Chains A and B, each alone.
Chain A
Amino acid sequence: MPEKKLRILIAKPGLDGHDRGAKVVARALRDAGMEVIYTGLRQTPESIVETALQEDVDAIGLSILSGAHNHLFKKVIDLLKEEGAEDIPIFGGGIIPEDDMPYLTDIGVKKIFGPGTSTEKIVTYIKEMTNK
Chain B
Amino acid sequence: MNSFDELIKRMSSGERRALGKIITLMENDSSSSAYIIPQIHNLTGNAHIVGITGPPGSGKSSLVDKLISCYRNDGLKVGVIAIDPTSPFTGGAILGDRIRMKRHYTDKDVFIRSMATRGNLGGLSEATGNTIQALDAFGKDVIIIETVGAGQVEIDIVKVADTVVVVSVPSMGDSVQTLKAGIMEIGDIFAVNKADIEGVEKCIIEIRMMLELSEKKGGWIQPIIKTFGNKDDGANDLYESIKNHHKYLIESGHHEQKRIIRGKTELINILQNLFIRNLYDTISEKEMEELAKKIANREKDPYMIIEELIPRLKKFI
A31, A35, A39, A83: the one contacting B116 at CB < 8 Å is A35
B17, B21, B28: the one contacting A3 at CB < 8 Å is B28
**A-B pairs with lowest CB-CB distance, top 5:** A56-B20, A47-B105, A40-B99, A30-B92, A33-B91
Query: Is B27 interfacial (CB-CB < 8 Å)?
Result: yes
A5–B102 Cα distance when bound, in Å, is 25
| A37 contacts B114, C-beta separation under 8 Å | yes
Chain A residues closer than 8 Å to B114, beta-carbon distance: 35, 37, 55
A67 to chain B, nearest CB (A): 23
Can you report 13 A-B residue pairs in the complex whose CB atoms are below 8 A from each other? Answer: A2-B27, A5-B116, A29-B92, A30-B87, A32-B92, A34-B92, A35-B95, A35-B114, A36-B93, A36-B95, A43-B102, A46-B105, A47-B105
Binding site for B on A (CB under 8 A): 1-5, 7, 26-27, 29-40, 43-44, 46-47, 50-51, 53-56, 83-85
| A53 contacts B17, C-beta separation under 8 Å | yes
**Which B69-127 residues have a C-beta within 8 angstroms of A?**
86-87, 90-96, 98-99, 102, 105-106, 108, 111-114, 116, 118-119, 126-127
A75 to chain B, nearest CB (A): 13
Interface contact tally, CB-CB below 8 A: 99
A5, A27, A51, A55: the one contacting B94 at CB < 8 Å is A27
| B93 contacts A2, C-beta separation under 8 Å | no
| B28 contacts A5, C-beta separation under 8 Å | yes
A37 to chain B, nearest CB (A): 5
Chain A residues closer than 8 Å to B92, beta-carbon distance: 29-36
| B20 contacts A54, C-beta separation under 8 Å | yes
A30–B30 Cα distance when bound, in Å, is 24
Please, how many residues of chain B have a CB less than 8 angstroms from a CB on the other chain?
38
Query: Is B24 interfacial (CB-CB < 8 Å)?
Result: yes
Query: Is B277 interfacial (CB-CB < 8 Å)?
Result: yes
A30 to chain B, nearest CB (A): 4
Known: A37-B98, A55-B113. A85 touches B127 (CB 8 A): no
B23, B90, B96, B113: the one contacting A31 at CB < 8 Å is B90
Chain A residues closer than 8 Å to B16, beta-carbon distance: 50, 53-54
